[in-house]
Amino acid sequence: MLFSFSPRERLDALKSTDPKELILLKQQLIESSPQKRWPFGMPTSINPLILFVGASPGGSPDPYQPILDYSPSIGKPHNGLFYDDKAGFWRKTRKLGTLVINNLDSKVTEDEALSLIGALNLSESQSSSASGISELSYAEWTFNIISKLKPRFVLMGGLKGELLKRKEIGKAFNSSLKPINWNKPEFIIRFRETNYKTSVWLRDNIKFIFLPNHVGRVPMTAEGSLKYAAQDIIKIENKY
């Protein structure tokens, strides 16, 4: 139940699992990383229902932000989700993730929802542009760690160009058993009354979803867009 499709079951499983097992799981996750430490700018719990995946930690650092321990949290929101970046990425990420979880279970509190949200990147390098920033070692590790974290949703915004234009990255961030063709979505929803689309692939009970765009760009910046995006994700969960 630690990796259930249900937010409540994931939360309850944490309480019923031996703390020593959870600490061991956390240590195994950390030791799997390319640098044998948890990467910078990638906050997550050990069993997130939702994982946001981007190219890099972004390019709007807060010079007054204390150094954070990015190792995975257990049963509580990761401090890194509250990083005060100038672009407001983390605020929008928290909102979208919480909206999705509350659509699945309206009784889940905000703190509980946030404890089921994480974010990974294909690089540790800070950049405001995703183009060319992804690294092979991190792309491969990120996909592999997703299979260990077992989220229900992997939400990707602003990553499409990296996966489609850089074939080596698209191949590294991929399933070895049943490769994903990032050019051919298995399910598509048109986003509101725009030309943007939400694209979906399903692998091992994980739904990989290209959001219409990065949460800080059109059309995701329009009023109500995060709410509509969350509703589309629920439609995907119910139909696919």
pLDDT tens per residue, range 2-24: 999 999 999 999 999 999 999 99
Asked whether the predicted pLDDT for residue 74 surpasses 50, the reply is yes
Residue 60, number of CB atoms within 10 A of its CB:
15
| Predicted confidence (pLDDT) at residue 132 exceeds the cutoff of 60 | no
For helices 89-104 and 225-239, the axis angle rounded to 10 degrees is 40
Q: What is the pTM of this model?
A: 0.95
Average pLDDT of the segment spanning 137-156: 96
Residue 130: pLDDT band with limits 50, 70, 90: very low
What's the whole-number average pLDDT of the chain?
93
Does residue 214 sit in helix, strand or coil?
A: coil
First to last CA, the chain: 21
Determine the longest span between alpha carbons in the chain, in angstroms.
50
pLDDT at 236 over 60: yes
Q: Rounded to an integer, what distance in angstroms lies between the CA atom of residue 232 and that of residue 192?
A: 9
Q: What is the DSSP letter of 154?
A: E
7-239: CATH topology: Uracil-DNA Glycosylase, subunit E (3.40.470)
Please, which residues have CB within 8 angstroms of residue 48's CB and are 6 or more apart in sequence? Answer: 116, 117, 118, 149, 151
Domain ranges in the chain?
Answer: 7-239
pLDDT-derived band of residue 141, with 50, 70 and 90 as boundaries? very high
Return the pLDDT at 101.
98
* pLDDT greater than 50 at residue 106: yes
For residue 47, pLDDT beyond 60:
yes
Q: Can you give the pLDDT at residue 192? A: 94
Q: Give me the residue label for tokens 């990296």.
A: 162
